[in-house]
Structure 1
Amino acid sequence: MIIFRYLTREVLLTLSAVTAVLLVIIMSGRFIKYLAQAAQGALDPSVLLLIMGYRIPGFLQLILPLGLFLGILLAYGRLYLESEMSVLTATGMSQQKLMGYTLWPAAFIAVLVAVLSLYVTPRGVQQVEGLLEAQKSLTEFDTLQAGRFQSMKNGERVTYTSSLSEERIELGGVFISERRASAGSERGPSVLVAERGRQEIQADGSRYLILENGYRYDGHPGRADYRVIQYDQYGVLLPKPGVAQELSEREALPSLALRESTNPREQAELQWRIAMPVLVMVVALLAVPLAKVNPRQGRYLKLLPAILLYMTYLGLLIAMRGWMEKGKVPMEVGLWAIHALFAGIGLLLLYWEPLRLKWMRLPEVRHA
């Protein structure tokens, strides 16, 4: 029991450290992406933390299997390097017994991943979809910030205001620049400047920015078609910012709804959710024999091949999921064939050395 607690603690501590690092890396990349959308006015900055919070379960269900895999490799690799595993082997610790000890923390992680994959992540995706849907109803006026140039339509439209009232009704010192193209040729930018502006909502729900006391500049300066128009009032239709959708609708469906569906894409989504906890147990089966290293070789000798093996496993799962969605692979085969293949590889690695020694054992010579 003492050895079991020691091994479990080593694996879980390393797993926690690896998972924390990977989670920070992935969340940083996604947060930068959402932050860029907020800077362009496509997202309200106040919802960024909520979106990231709801996305954490989805990140964890993908990170935890890799974290467990690396945790076993690093923790047991250190034990082999410092000859602690040699001492345990001398006291009767076999690879099969070590695997039995390892499967207990792996089962705990598998249950956690199953809860995340089957229940928590779909609910989080539903909340994210609700937040993004609410952002679609916002206009450029709702996301405008005083004293900052705001880019819209992939940089085709730039808006600036020097002052903005607390009610977001009155603007001062307005500048709007928009690039236009007609019949495949560049017509030149259109620039609007005004002393002040206000928002008007029409009966059909469309919103206009009414500019007062300003100028409009059309075309390229120096050309014959360049125009300068002075106006007392000028109305500008406020476009709605486009929010990039990175989540599919089926990711937000409850697992029970996917189970009753006959749609191949939704059935593939259900198998993918079930595959995550199964992945945890299979990578534990792979990691234990791969963690065995010679102290003279160093703990990182097998790390790169092991990571390549894991990437191959995950890549085949993703490819098989795509084939299932397209109907190229029967649902009965599905992702189970990939799990069975790599589980077989794990068993082969686990029992390879005893089998090799058995095959190489010389026959006994009997003397008359």
Structure 2
Amino acid sequence: MIVFRYLSREVLTTLSAVSAVLLVIIMSGRFIKYLAQAAQGALDPSVLFLIMGFRLPGFLQLILPLGLFLGFLLAYGRLYLDSEMTVLSATGMSQQRLMMYSLAPATLVALLVAWLSLGLAPQGVSQVARILNQQDALTEFDTLVPGRFQSMGEGSRVTYTETLSNDRSELGGIFITEKRLSSDGQKDRGITVLVAETGRQEIQEDGSRYLILENGYRYDGNPGQADYRAIKYDEYGVLLPKPEVSVDVSEREAVPTRELIGSDDQRYKSELQWRISLPILVFVVTLMAVPLSRVNPRQGRFLKLLPAILLYMGYLSILIAARGAMDKGRIPYGLGLWWVHGVFIAIGLLLLYWEPIRLKWASRRSSQEIARG
């Protein structure tokens, strides 16, 4: 029991550290992407942390299996390097017994991943979709930040306001520039620049919104040419486009698991198998990680780390590819993703029993050579 607690503590400690680092890296990249959209006015900055929080279960369900895999490799690799595994082997610790001990933290992680993939992750995606629907109702006016140039429409439109009232009803010191395109949207016909002292929002009966500019000028022309046209106006209406929000979520990811069960939709079937596959992935990578963690102290701790990571990435890549093929009906539902797990279970068993089989063959061969000599 002491050895079991020691091994589990080493694995779970390493798992926590590795998963935390991976989570920070992935969430930082996603947060920068969402932050760029907020800076362009496509997202309300106040919802950024809500989106990241609701996306957290989806990140963790993929990070934890990899973290556990690396946890076994690093924790057990250190024990082999420090000859602690040699001492344990001398007291009767076989690879099979080590595997049984390793299944305890693996089961804990698998239950957590199952909770995330079957419950929390779909709920999180559903909440993100709700937030995005609310964002779709916003216009450029609602996402303006005073004192900042905001780009819209992939850079074709830039808006600036010097002041903005607390209720967002009045603007001051307005500057808007927009590219003028031909009717087919291909040819650049110059730019239009609007400046105004004040502005207000006006909602039409059809729901469209306009920014009504007061006491300003409109300039039309081409940069670098002296053919600009200037028009002074007392009041001018500008249609406010809706921000284009882009967040990596799909409709089926938000469907509760209970609705996926028994569905005839091929994409829903593959989604269900994908969610079930993630907890299974935990046990399969455990089966591969335990024998891969076995290293010779003279070879170094990280000798098998790169091949092991490549093996894991191959496993995950084939699962994703099989999921895509299943979506398109190229793989029958009965076969689904289960064949991928079967292949890598066979690889794990081969890795687990290869060393004893090799030693047995070597011993038998030596005995035969001695007998012939």
TM over 0.5: yes
Alpha-carbon displacement from aligned partner over 1:158-183 (angstroms, at most 9, x marks no partner): 00011111110111110000012115
Q: Give the direction of change, closer, same or farther, for the CA distance of 1:242–1:346 in structure 2 (3 Å limit).
A: same
> Which letter does structure 1 place at the counterpart of 2:175?
F
The equivalent residue for 1:88 is 88
The equivalent residue for 2:5 is 5
Equivalent-residue separation in structure 2 for 1:88 and 1:108 (angstroms): 24
Contiguous gaps of at least 5 residues in structure 2:
none
The equivalent residue for 1:192 is 194
The equivalent residue for 1:157 is 157
Matches within 5 A, 1:146-225: 146-182=146-182, 183=184, 184-220=186-222, 223=225
Secondary structure at the aligned position of 2:167 is classed as coil
The equivalent residue for 1:68 is 68
The equivalent residue for 1:340 is 342
Secondary structure at the aligned position of 2:336 is classed as coil
> Which letter does structure 1 place at the counterpart of 2:164?
L
The equivalent residue for 1:57 is 57
Alpha-carbon displacement from aligned partner over 1:329-367 (angstroms, at most 9, x marks no partner): 11111111010100111101101111112223145788x
The equivalent residue for 2:276 is 274
Determine if contact 2:190/2:223 at 8 Å carries over to the other structure.
Answer: no
Equivalent-residue separation in structure 2 for 1:47 and 1:110 (angstroms): 31
> Which letter does structure 1 place at the counterpart of 2:304?
K
Alpha-carbon displacement from aligned partner over 1:186-236 (angstroms, at most 9, x marks no partner): 110100001111111112221111111111001125747531111111000
> Which letter does structure 2 place at the counterpart of 1:332?
G
Equivalent-residue separation in structure 2 for 1:84 and 1:222 (angstroms): 75
Alpha-carbon displacement from aligned partner over 1:59-86 (angstroms, at most 9, x marks no partner): 0000000000000000000000000000
Contiguous gaps of at least 5 residues in structure 1:
none
Determine if contact 2:216/2:233 at 8 Å carries over to the other structure.
Answer: yes
Equivalent-residue separation in structure 1 for 2:160 and 2:226 (angstroms): 28
The equivalent residue for 2:303 is 301
The equivalent residue for 1:349 is 351
Equivalent-residue separation in structure 1 for 2:317 and 2:30 (angstroms): 21
Runs of 4+ aligned residues of structure 1 deviating over 3 Å after TM superposition are 221-225, 362-366
The equivalent residue for 1:138 is 138
> Which letter does structure 2 place at the counterpart of 1:54?
F
Equivalent-residue separation in structure 2 for 1:76 and 1:221 (angstroms): 65
Equivalent-residue separation in structure 2 for 1:276 and 1:83 (angstroms): 34
> Which letter does structure 2 place at the counterpart of 1:207?
R
The equivalent residue for 2:126 is 126
Equivalent-residue separation in structure 2 for 1:103 and 1:199 (angstroms): 62
Shift of 1:242: 1.1
The equivalent residue for 1:37 is 37
The equivalent residue for 1:320 is 322
Secondary structure at the aligned position of 2:261 is classed as helix
Higher alpha-carbon deviation: 224-233 or 347-356 = 224-233
Equivalent-residue separation in structure 2 for 1:13 and 1:223 (angstroms): 66
Alpha-carbon displacement from aligned partner over 1:105-124 (angstroms, at most 9, x marks no partner): 10110011001000110001
Higher alpha-carbon deviation: 212-221 or 153-162 = 212-221
Alpha-carbon displacement from aligned partner over 1:135-155 (angstroms, at most 9, x marks no partner): 000011101011111111111
Task: Give the RMSD, CA atoms, in angstroms.
Answer: 1.4
Identity of aligned residues (%): 70
Shift of 1:299: 0.4
Alpha-carbon displacement from aligned partner over 1:1-53 (angstroms, at most 9, x marks no partner): 00000000000000000000000000000100110110011111111111111
Secondary structure at the aligned position of 1:99 is classed as helix
> Which letter does structure 1 place at the counterpart of 2:320?
I
